[in-house]
């Protein structure tokens, strides 16, 4: 009876053990891998790396932990980064200026319907009275209404940021019963009110706070908004506003 641990080579009669066969396949695979990697190196015109790169830091380097940017430095960095991805930024002194800013934009854009979070600070804007020709709804204020559908049909959405990050130009909005994420995701134009004291230097400051709060205190959702909705297919054809607001205003409020 033939030994089950041996097999015939395809081009000869000599027997080959199972271990020898696996070793031969591994050698062939390694040679094929070498040719593949060498081909990439030649195309890149860069010598191949044969050793793992050095990692001088473990975890975040010291400079990454320096969070002593001044308020104006944070405002400038946030503004530059938010503008770079197609967003708009306005620096306003108080909530009365926020109200006026949104009212002017409503007239310019012919807005007919506005939806906002149920936040006390946003209620102080008085948009319902300031914009008598614009229908205004407050998220989740009526259990009978289809709020996602209403948000999808809104011209303007108004939310208040829980945090903003200067280093990335991102706004952080937490979900809650009175703060549905649809308000920031579905309207055509989004206004984000950012109290200047909520502006952080780096994203880690926000994440550390969420981590320290513990699982039980986590919100229903944590949403990072960095400019308007952007989508690009494989041909790099950039389209704005496909999956969310095409126009986003970050309104930084306070001295």
What domains are defined for the chain? 70-253 (3.40.50.10420)
Give the residue with greater pLDDT, 178 vs 65: 178
Q: Counting beta carbons within 10 angstroms of the beta carbon of residue 4, is it exposed (0 to 12), middle (13 to 18) or buried (19 or more)?
A: exposed
Q: Which pair of tokens denotes residue 249? A: 């205003």
The arithmetic mean of pLDDT across residues 133-140, rounded, is 95
Nearest 5°: the CA angle 167, 171, 177 is 150
**Predicted pLDDT at 239:** 58
H-state helical runs in 45-178: 71-84, 95-109, 120-123, 127-130, 147-152
Angstrom distance (rounded) from CA 208 to CA 31: 47
**Predicted pLDDT at 127:** 94
Mind listing the pLDDT tens digit for each residue in 14-59?
578 888 999 999 999 999 999 999 998 888 888 888 888 887 777 7
Is residue 3 pLDDT above 50, yes or no? Answer: no
**Predicted pLDDT at 235:** 56
**Predicted pLDDT at 210:** 87
Is residue 238 pLDDT above 70, yes or no? Answer: no
The model's pTM? 0.73
**Predicted pLDDT at 62:** 73
Q: Counting beta carbons within 10 angstroms of the beta carbon of residue 87, is it exposed (0 to 12), middle (13 to 18) or buried (19 or more)?
A: buried
Identify whether the C-beta of residue 220 lies closer than 8 Å to the C-beta of residue 186. no
Q: Return the beta strands (E) in the chain as ranges.
A: 6-8, 15-17, 88-92, 113-116, 135-138, 156-160, 163-165, 170-174, 189-195, 199-200, 222-225, 230-232, 238-240, 247-253
**Predicted pLDDT at 227:** 83
Mind listing the pLDDT tens digit for each residue in 50-93?
888 887 777 767 777 777 789 999 999 999 999 998 999 999 99
Is residue 114 pLDDT above 50, yes or no? Answer: yes
Closest C-alpha among 186, 159, 187, 188 to residue 175: 159
């Amino acid at each position: 009876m033939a030994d089950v641990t041996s097999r015939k080579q395809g081009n000869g009669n000599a027997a080959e053990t199972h271990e020898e066969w696996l070793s031969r396949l591994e050698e062939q695979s390694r040679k094929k891998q070498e040719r593949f990697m060498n081909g990439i190196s030649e195309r890149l015109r860069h010598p191949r790396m044969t050793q793992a790169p050095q990692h001088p830091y473990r975890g975040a380097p010291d400079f990454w932990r320096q969070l002593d940017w001044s308020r104006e430095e944070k405002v400038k960095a946030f503004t530059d980064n938010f503008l770079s991805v197609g967003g708009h930024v306005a620096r306003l002194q108080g909530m009365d200026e926020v109200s006026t800013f949104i009212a002017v934009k409503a007239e310019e854009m012919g807005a007919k319907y506005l939806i906002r979070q149920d936040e006390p600070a946003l209620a102080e804007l008085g948009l319902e009275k300031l914009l008598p020709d614009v229908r205004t709804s407050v998220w989740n204020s009526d259990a009978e209404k289809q709020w996602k559908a209403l948000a999808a049909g809104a011209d303007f959405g108004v939310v208040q940021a829980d945090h903003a990050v200067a280093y990335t130009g991102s706004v952080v909005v937490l979900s809650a019963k009175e703060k549905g994420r649809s308000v920031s995701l579905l309207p055509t134009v989004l206004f984000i009110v950012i109290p200047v004291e909520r502006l952080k230097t780096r994203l880690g400051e926000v994440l550390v706070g969420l981590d320290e709060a513990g699982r039980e205190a986590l919100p229903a959702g944590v949403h990072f908004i960095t400019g308007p909705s952007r989508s690009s297919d494989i041909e790099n054809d950039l389209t704005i506003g496909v999956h969310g607001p095409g126009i986003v205003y970050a309104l930084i409020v306070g001295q």
